[in-house]
Amino acid sequence: MRHFDILNPNLDSTRQMFNELENDLRSSKIDLGIGIYRDERGEAPVFKAVKKAEKILFQNENSKSYKSPSGNKKYCENILELVLGKKIINDRNGKIGSIQIPGAGSGLRIAGELIKSKTKNKTISVPNPTWGQQTFMFQKSGLNVLKHDYYDEKNNFLDFNNMLKGINNLKSGDALLLHGCCHNPTGADLSLEQWSIVANLCKKNGVLPFIDLVYQGLGHGINEDVLGIQNLIKIVPEVILTVSSSKTFGVYRDRCGLFAVITDAERVTSQSLETMLSEIARELYFHPPDHAASIINILLADENLKEEWLSELSSMQNRIVSLRQQIGKSFQDKRQTDFFSFLKSQSGMFSLLPISNEGIIELRKKSGIYLMPDGRINIASVRENQIDFITTEICSLKEFQSRKL
């Protein structure tokens, strides 16, 4: 008997797509699936400010010893200030506990374990649609995963009224997943007013918000992208927050993020919260990697490096906005309709294109264009000289030829 006699493991549609992409030998293939920012050369650039900070780290680092399971404390302080601002941190008066984590995926799993162990219902509601890995991680943690309406895929807009109905159906003690900004996969975000409405509804019904923040700075700006989160935290007594630094600092492969619990519980301290989170993390991994956390600390402590990083991040955000405008216009020019205008008004790296599974497969085989299986396009991976080809190939699909837009 052999335990590992496996020839073809079962892969989900996303893994299958990436395997096809990797094995596609055409030099003209276009990857619009994987969630990374690419420049006009088609590369995922390292921030110049990050490289300079990394050089300083290399010259001054004198140990590669382990950090504690809670990770780099200064990094946690820096990221909390970047997301929440000093006023909220001061107003919460020591009721925020945080740990450094190895990226967004671990944050989802820690959230799942935390909700399972500390809430009575062991239930979380996720937007429909949402990033598939979120649902996967929650299910692996043993949570009961519900779905609430979020996006009208037929008409391409945020379906806020039905979202509220879904939240109203939750029980006291249930958790609610909220994308911090740049919703994945739709690019459709809550307005500040809508954030406040959701916050008050959560407070009224005893629902626990869990915010997943991955794209700060790539939507409307480094400060603008977290105003909704700040509004919510001012209203709701308890919030779970996870933050990824992968996109905001371009440190994808270095795996760096933050996990925090914010509460007003009477007996709790930041230290007791940190200890609780560290114990959960210790069951999943021993120590988070420190490299990116130390680089980010150096960068944020140096005003010149910080300004250079903010300038680079702003340039990326502006380029994404420009690409959205150009892609939307190209679609409109080819089909003589404003159907694709939603691309211009959405924010961040992603949008959902109304393409069937058959159309997505046709694009791969015929044109070498790889979208995610749900029709998600990574706007931030498109090069300007590819726009005409991409929109032409999509508009030439049989389903678009016969569809009245």
Q: Domain residues of the chain, as ranges?
A: 13-45+318-402, 52-303
- pLDDT per residue over 342-381, tens digit each? 999 999 999 999 999 999 999 999 999 999 999 999 999 9
Whole-number pLDDT of residue 189: 97
Q: Are 147 and 126 in contact (CB under 8 A)?
A: yes
The CATH classification number of 52-303 equals 3.40.640.10
Distances (CA, A) of 392 to 259, 330, 366: 43, 9, 12
By three-state DSSP, how is residue 321 classified?
Answer: helix
Write down the pTM of the prediction: 0.94
Q: Is 255 left (phi over 0), alpha (psi -120 to 50) or beta?
A: left
Q: Which of 247, 254, 290, 309 is catalytic?
A: 247
Q: Which of 95, 131, 174, 254 is catalytic?
A: 131
174 carries an active-site annotation: no
Nearest-angstrom CA–CA distance, 228 and 237: 15
Whole-number pLDDT of residue 70: 93
Q: Which of 189, 212, 225, 290 is catalytic?
A: 212
13-45+318-402: CATH architecture: Alpha-Beta Complex (3.90)
Pick from 275, 402, 395: nearest CA to 327? 395
- pLDDT per residue over 252-277, tens digit each? 999 999 999 999 998 999 999 999 99
pLDDT higher than 90, residue 401: no
- pLDDT per residue over 175-201, tens digit each? 999 999 999 999 999 999 999 999 999
247 carries an active-site annotation: yes
- pLDDT per residue over 157-171, tens digit each? 999 999 999 999 999
By three-state DSSP, how is residue 151 classified?
Answer: strand
Whole-number pLDDT of residue 1: 74
131 carries an active-site annotation: yes
Q: Can you tell me which residue has the tokens 């869990």?
A: 210
